[in-house]
Chains A and B, each alone.
Chain A
Amino acid sequence: MWAFLLVFAKTYAENESLVDAENTLRFAVNQVLTVAKNSRNRVELERSVRPILERYIDFAKMTQLAIGAGWRALSTLQREQAAVDFTTLVIRSYSDKLKPGEFPEIEVRSARDLGQGRVEVPTTLRYQGSEYEVAYRMHKMNQWRVTDVIIEGVSFVANYRSQFDEIYKRGGAEAVAKTLHTTANRMP
């Protein structure tokens, strides 16, 4: 009886956690889309969307995941700079996929547990007659935060990781930090 209750309680807590992740994402996406709809131009959109993304995306973790092996070779100062640069790059890239004045339809589907406090929340984005599958990988520290966005099977983190890997192979951690800084400061 006690064993049954324990299993039931655990399953209930896990499901609650998944629903919590879905709701966090739904809330975050709605905020982003509302800001995008009310923005008059791209500059305003990027500026307005930044605080929301900073609240719901774990940029430090994302930077670490994207840089991968090179991360350990960076000094504390370089890591901080890399996180700032990568944040700029992610926000710019994400904002670029939104159009000022438009509000695409997004359906948030059931999250699946990836283990170790991580979940994946699949969503379907419908825009101008086309459908796109966008999945958000999230992990929980104090709250659920996004650590990767997978658009039509293309992982944002893995894609950057493959690029950093190439640079790391050729020039080491210094080259990674320098190239990231140059790219983040390149005019879009």
Chain B
Amino acid sequence: MKKFISNLILILVVCFIFSGCATRQAAEIGEVKTTSRAGTISQSKSFKTTKDSLEVPVEDELGSFSEHRTHVFDPLEPINRAIFAFNHEFYRFVIRPVADGYEFILPKIVREGIDNVYENLTFPVRFVNHGLQGRFDRAGKELGAFVVNSVAGIGGVWHPSEKIEFLKDIPKADTGQTFAKWGIGHGPYLVLPVLGPTTVRDFVGMVGDYALNPVSWATFAFGGEVWTLAITSPNTVRTLPKRMDEYDAATKHAIDRYTSARMTYIHFRNKHAKR
């Protein structure tokens, strides 16, 4: 088992190292560059199609929408599709009932309090990543919001910082986003069992977020003793309703659920990286 895990980590690290070049190339091929001139967006006429993409001349039927077309590097598509199909059923029969049950049992005000506490606790993830992105102003605001919410908000149950103009609406930051800001490409697209869509870059980022998250420190410190579940489980369960909503938004009315979830994920992360 240990050997399998170490092999898996080795493969992911190798993929991650190469992901920068791989996806940057894919992005150059698949995306139309736009240039801004006097407030008008004009398209580059030299749109190169990949061997995978369709030949779409006629000013490309997507017209000015082309910048939203992105070629996704998905070399593991058959495996990803199989895991996606498993996840779909798993969400349907296991995760969604848990999410619905959580929303049914706990009143909204209690759920909001739980969300607030855990969001406040994950402050190091945002603080460190704002710093790594060179956004020290945002890191400072995060620190300010954390202090205000921990003290005046009684351990973060309430977020009084949202009422302070200077401290409200701080953009979120995570390790995958930091890698993106450093110019590292997505790398191969992956669908993880239960966790769902990600890329090699974001998966490594997720490990970073996990390490920076104080909620997971209890598991590290006490070697995964059963009582630590009392700290980590609510953090998982509280996010399920939102995750199911996001999954539905991406797939419910899709022609091909897999492709829709993939495009939604990549576009959403690209947008997040620009924040």
Contact = CB atoms under 8 A, between A and B. Distances in A.
Contact of B40 (A69, A115, A165): A115
Contact of A69 (B54, B249, B272): B54
B42 to A, nearest CB: 6
B263 A159 contact: yes
Contact of B259 (A65, A163, A188): A163
Given A165-B53, A183-B255, 17 more contacts: A65-B61, A69-B55, A69-B61, A92-B253, A96-B253, A112-B39, A112-B41, A113-B40, A137-B65, A148-B65, A152-B271, A153-B274, A155-B65, A161-B69, A166-B259, A183-B254, A188-B252
Chain B CB within 10 Å — which of A93, A131, A163 has the most? A163
A113 B274 CA distance: 21
Interface of B: 39-42, 52-56, 58, 61-65, 68-69, 169, 248-249, 252-256, 259-260, 262-264, 267-268, 270-272, 274
A118 B268 contact: no
B249 A115 contact: no
Given A68-B61, A69-B55, A114 B41 contact: yes
A156 to B, nearest CB: 9
Interface string A28-62: 00000000000000000000000000000000000
A13 interface: no
Contacts of A159: 260, 263-264, 267
A71 B58 CA distance: 12
Contacts of A188: 252-253
B86 to A, nearest CB: 20
A97 B250 CA distance: 11
B255 A114 contact: no
Contacts of B263: 154, 158-159, 162-163
Interface in A51-95: 64-65, 68-69, 71-72, 89, 92-93
Interface of A: 64-65, 68-69, 71-72, 89, 92-93, 96-97, 112-116, 118, 131, 133, 137, 148, 150, 152-155, 157-169, 179-180, 183, 188
A153 B271 contact: yes
Given A114-B40, A158-B263, A169 B268 contact: no
A69 B60 CA distance: 9
Contacts, number: 110
Interface centre among B52, B263, B268 (most CB of A within 10 A): B263
22 contacts: A68-B54, A68-B56, A71-B61, A112-B41, A114-B40, A115-B41, A115-B64, A118-B63, A118-B64, A153-B268, A153-B270, A155-B65, A157-B62, A157-B65, A157-B68, A158-B68, A158-B69, A159-B260, A162-B260, A163-B260, A165-B53, A167-B255
A153 B180 CA distance: 16
B41 A69 contact: no
Report which residue of B41, B68, B267, B268 has the largest number of chain A beta carbons within 10 angstroms of its beta carbon: B68
Nearest to B270: A153
B28 to A, nearest CB: 18
Contacts of B270: 153
Contacts of A183: 253-255
A182 to B, nearest CB: 9
Contacts of B40: 113-115
A71 B57 CA distance: 13
A162 B69 contact: yes
A163 B259 CA distance: 6
Q: Which 4 A-B pairs have the closest CB atoms?
A: A153-B271, A158-B68, A155-B68, A93-B253
A69 B64 CA distance: 16
Given A169-B54, A179-B255, A158 B65 contact: yes
Nearest to A153: B271
Contacts of B274: 153
Nearest to B248: A96
A65 B62 contact: yes
B171 to A, nearest CB: 10
Contacts of A96: 248-249, 252-253
A133 B253 CA distance: 21
B260 A65 contact: no
